[in-house]
Structure 1
Amino acid sequence: MLYPLFFVAVYLSHFRLLRLPYFWDEGGYYIPAAWDFFRTGTLIPQSTVTNAHPPLPSILLAAWWHLSGYVVSGTRTLVAMVAAAALLGVFKLTRTLTTSAVAAVTVVLTAIYPVWFAQSTLAHADIFAAALTLWGLAFYFNHDSADTGSSLVLNPIYSALMFSLAALSKETSIVTPIALALWEIALLLQNRRAPQSRRLHLSWMAALLAPILPLAAWYAFHYHRTGFVFGNPEFLRYNATANLDAYRIALCLWHRLLHLFAHMNMFVPVVCMIAAMFLPIAATNKRLPISRPALKAIGVVLLANWIAFSILGGALLTRYLLPMYPLILLVGVNTWRRRLSERWLLLAALSAIAFLAGIWINPPYAFAPEDNLTYRDFVVLHQQAVRFIDLTYPQATVLTAWPATSELNRPELGYTNHPVKTAPILNFSLEQIEKAAADPGSYDVALVFSTKWAPPANRVDLSRQHESVDTKYFDFHRDLSPSEIATILHGEVVWQAHRKGEWAAVLHFPRIVEASFHPLENPDPLYSYL
């Protein structure tokens, strides 16, 4: 009964975003992979580089496109349905451990948390994996409060199914069930003398380790078809082997800690929770709603994901931690409810205001545009720039960087209705622009844009002091301005626009072409007469 309400709320709150063309990794991998499966039925992408991501999102997207047609709004509607299912999982999980009031507040705060809000219509694998992971956790924690014989049998089965589907959506989702399996092993050793507890822990261990099997089967299939287990060698290097540096891991642990407990105003509910813990328990709330074993299990899940995503993944994207944010909010809201009696709703309102502000107001440090509605500014600017090129220079070869190369080359991404030739470079740093200047004949128009969001030079920038380290380990760079690029490449800025720190510009390069006359060896008589 709640699902239609959740879906309508997600759909209406994202209504202005439903027709936006695909953004960044959507157009770089997930949509092309699903597009290939939709057209050819192949699980191995053909029109983009395969990186061994599991195929469930592609299968679901392609199946939905057969119903909705291949339109961007159809894709975003499906993702909104998945986000609503994830919020329903949050409600079930929270109500199982606490009360309906705490569950309702946790769902609202999750839905409006800027990272979650932005991802609720973006076709990344992370929202699919988050929904299934949260349902897996809901069934796992259900055995704390349901002691009937049927639930003892069915909950492990349901949980294993949800975690298996999560792993087939995003391979890194396997971290959560493995962490819980290790926790069950610790509980088994602690309660090894109790036969009933031993059987329960063994059944959960089997259920939580079961998702390894379908994921291993996918990798075996991928290896059989491509010769690579974990994707192409460059993908493996960038996301795994190149990250095994002690100093980098230490930096990532710090960044991920901030991502979990401070990023996009998450510090507001976290600080409120810490402050509330110093208050005595309210007289009306002597009972502890969340059991200590459940709190410890939540801590194990958060710890495992914090460590795992500080080692795995070349980019420190917060969407990788998507299913962790509801767990943090669950614990925080429950702490307010227990310590402050009726006044806890004031802290909920304060957190809601902070989250709503974070959806539109950028923080004073560099971050990924997909963490709030900055990604919309990015997409709108690229729409306008590509439309200008289509109308003004329809036959041009465009110098640009990814993801604009895909936006121009692939009409199915929603930016243009015909492929546009491109001359790709990595970014718009001085080094790359100088390389482009060495071969001016390979392009006659340039589409330049902000590839990294950072506070303007005249604003507070908390990340500026770490810029050298971020450049070395996390691919940070400073893009040149359109006027600087035009000066180096000897062109002129013919269009530019800015939106809240994001910018894009189109440059034109008037070329001087040397021409010479070569008379015909055997001219036509009529030509000679004329």
Structure 2
Amino acid sequence: MSRPSASSPSSRSLRRPKSSQSPSRRRTAPSTNAVATPNRSRTRFSLLAAPAGSPLPLPFLYPLFFVAVYLAHWNLLQLPYYWDEAGYYIPAALDFFHTGSLIPTTTLTNAHPPLPSLLLAGWWRLCGGISVGATRTLVCMIAAFALVGVFRLARGLAGPIIAGVVTLLTAIYPVWFAQSTLAHADIFAAAFTLWALSFYLVQPTLVRPAPHRFAWTAVFFSLAALAKETAIVTPAALALWEIVQLFIAGPEELADRPGRPVYRRIHLFWIAALAAPVLPLALWYAYHFHRTGFVFGNPEFLRYNATANLGSARILLSLWHRVVHVTFHMNMYVPVVLTLALLATAKPINLIPRSLRRPAFPAILVIVLGNLVAFSILGGALLTRYLLPVFPLVLLLCVSVWTARMRAWAWLAGLTAATFLTALWVNPPYTFAPEDNLTYRDMVILHERAINLIEKRFPAATVLTAWPATSELTRPELGYAHKSFRVTPLENFTAEEIQKAAADPGSYDTMLIFSSKWTPPPGALNLSRGHEATDMRYFDFHRDVSPEEAAAMLHGDIVWQAQSKGEWVAVLRFPRSVEARLFVPFANK
């Protein structure tokens, strides 16, 4: 897409803010000369201040957003730690809390940047101790901060009404809602990324961006990269976009004339700001290499998340999955289909906000496409939480089209909200990770009940199980067990792994077996059945044996099992014969 010429209407709109204002505001819009020599008092920076004429300063919004997020997640705040929380993020934060080490010592380091650990440990200090409730509260605070960033971004591009709708839909979208109390690095990175975008994408009325916009964009993107290394994808994509604009801009646009935007200089400033996050991330990797001898974590982590994913077939399949994630998954197809239908059939009743059309609209497309492509290569698991910053942008595009094409667009927003809320509890007809909606809560509660039973009935057990239950049983601080159990680890619960365990029956006397993903029940509609073969080959998909099959293969008894909305767990016990010898004192004398 080429930039407009200096004489085009779109180019003039960048120099004449009154063209994108409502009729009531055009009467008082400044002249072109006034724009070229702006009143500096109007550009004084405030990180949280509202734009002129807006009645909603952000300092008043944050406590409201936090209370709303906290209360909406009330019954999730005391749940034990789940999945990657238990496997890495909480142990890493505990290591820093107890020893001050940025490199985890009680779990395998994978070179994730340390910002989440620093924030968690600092918050625990402020709270006077470590607790699940304190952790969940901090994540709610980060989620609320992210939603304020969504509101600031959408308000600057499309106005407060659209901003309110986009923020609400983002907050209740199942993937976002579920991650809003989980201490994964992704919600931290998403929060800082969205705040950075609120400075980069929102074009001011003045033709020359104020220096603070470059600075805060660099700061927030740097914080995002220090929260999770893959957050560097968004500023990298935007930096490439700025470089492209330098090459496709016409000579008149790049000319330095009085009263004209200095396009070349502005693009170079943006490139510098967007490249700035590389420095702190590089310093972190240098420190990690100095301490461990590895740059990107351990070799297995690097293989699983990068080097093993470079085949063209896998990349294309991953890209297909990623497109499905942002257009279909968890009822996202509802706003997307409504938007496409309006674009195909309805005539516009008013222009999409000009700031959303240019230059924000192509930049948003660059961000979405950049993340889709990057996360088709990076990451061994196709987790949807990697795309957290993308979902608000997709919703912003959808709602902007609704308001431009349909007067009764509020009905579309209401329908979308209803389907998002439904998807929190009603599972889709295909396989998905429990953390994409409230299914993860069922999984956590089932694990908690199973481990509680093992503690009461078999306190000296050696438990055969797979990750993350291996961590849940050996680390009481995760909230499941009151003591540490001996475990015999399995890779998963496939028939091959069970057969390996059957070859060494003396290494365990109890088994904790559970579902590792949600799949439609037998006989039900299953849209993912058609690509199970490729998922097994490229994405580590596997079929777990049932508790009954495991009991038969290992010659044990099912002593307890339970299920909840498709998630299941069982405890098996194996009677072991023990050789006993009578010891007679002085028998050899």
What band does the TM-score fall into relative to the shorter chain? Answer: over 0.9
> Is the partner of 1:277 in helix, strand or coil?
helix
Separation (CA, whole Å) in 1 of partners of 2:131 and 2:384: 27
Asked if 1 retains the 8 angstrom alpha-carbon contact of 2:157 and 2:353, the reply is no
User: Which residue does the alignment assign to 2:394?
Assistant: 328
The letter of the residue matching 2:406 is L
1:345-494 superposed matches below 5 A: 345-494=410-559
Asked if 1:178 corresponds to 2:236, the answer is yes
Aligned to 1:106: 166
Say if 1:97 and 1:145, in contact at 8 Å, map to a contact too. no
* Distance (Å, rounded) in 2 between the aligned partners of 1:411 and 1:516: 36
Q: Do the aligned partners of residues 92 and 287 (structure 1) sit closer, same or farther apart at CA in structure 2, a change above 3 Å counting?
A: closer
Structure 2 partner of 1:274: 340
Letter in 1 for 2:197: L
Shift in Å, 1:286: 7.3
Identify the residue that residue 217 of structure 1 maps to in structure 2.
283
> What's the RMSD between the two structures over aligned residues?
1.4
Q: Give the AA of the match of 1:375.
A: Y
Question: Given the alignment of the two structures, is residue 168 of structure 1 paired with residue 229 of structure 2, yes or no?
Answer: no
Q: Work out whether residues 158 and 353 of structure 2, in 8 Å CA contact, stay in contact via their aligned partners in 1.
A: no
Q: Is 1:90 aligned to 2:150, yes or no?
A: yes
1:140 matched residue in structure 2: 200
Matched, 1:4 2:69: no
Decide which of 492, 500, 508 is 2:573's aligned counterpart: 508
Distance 1:20 1:44 in 2: 26
Match of 2:138 in 1: 78
Q: Work out the CA distance in 1 between the residues paired with 2:415 and 2:459.
A: 51
The whole-number CA distance in structure 2 between the counterparts of 1:503 and 1:353 is: 28
The alignment partner of 1:307 has SS state of helix
CA distances 1:411-447 after superposition (whole Å, capped 9, x unpaired):
1100011111111111111001111111111111111
Q: Which runs of 5+ in 2 are unaligned?
A: 1-59, 257-261
Residues 1:202 and 1:285: Cα distance change in structure 2 (over 3 Å):
closer
5+ residue gaps, structure 1, are: 525-530
What residue is the counterpart of 1:39 in the other structure? Answer: 98
Question: How big is the shift at 1:452?
Answer: 2.2
Match of 2:359 among 293, 300, 310: 293
Q: CA separation in 2, counterparts of 1:65 and 1:309?
A: 32
Kept in 2: contact 1:54–1:168 (CA 8 A): yes
Deviation at 1:283, TM superposition (A): 3.8
Residue in 1 aligned with 2:273?
A: 207
Please report how far the alpha carbon of residue 513 of structure 1 lies from its aligned counterpart in structure 2 after TM superposition.
Answer: 2.1
Output the amino acid matched with 2:223: L
Kept in 2: contact 1:397–1:420 (CA 8 A)? yes
From 166, 180, 186, give the equivalent of 1:120: 180
Q: CA deviation at 1:194?
A: 2.5
Q: CA deviation at 1:287?
A: 5.8
Q: Which amino acid aligns with 1:75?
A: T
SS in 2 for 1:118: helix
**Contact map agreement 2:349 2:404 (CA 8 A) in 1:** no
User: For residues 287 and 351 of structure 1, what CA distance do their matches in structure 2 show?
Assistant: 22
Q: Is the 8 A contact 1:97 1:291 kept in 2?
A: no
Distance of aligned partners of 1:512 and 1:280 in 2 relative to their CA distance in 1, 3 Å threshold: closer
**Normalising by the residue count of structure 2, what TM-score does the alignment of the two structures yield?**
0.87
For residues 270 and 338 of structure 1, what CA distance do their matches in structure 2 show?
15
The alignment partner of 2:543 has SS state of: coil
- Percentage of matched positions with identical amino acids: 61
CA distance in 2 between counterparts of 1:284 and 1:228 reads: 56
Question: SS of the counterpart of 2:125?
Answer: helix
Partner in structure 2 of residue 527 of structure 1: none
- The answer as to 2:255 corresponding to 1:190 is no
* SS class of match (2:442): helix
Q: Which amino acid aligns with 2:555?
A: H
- Pairwise CA distance, 1:145: 2.6
Matched-pair contact (CA < 8 Å) for 1:57–1:169? yes
SS at match of 2:488: strand
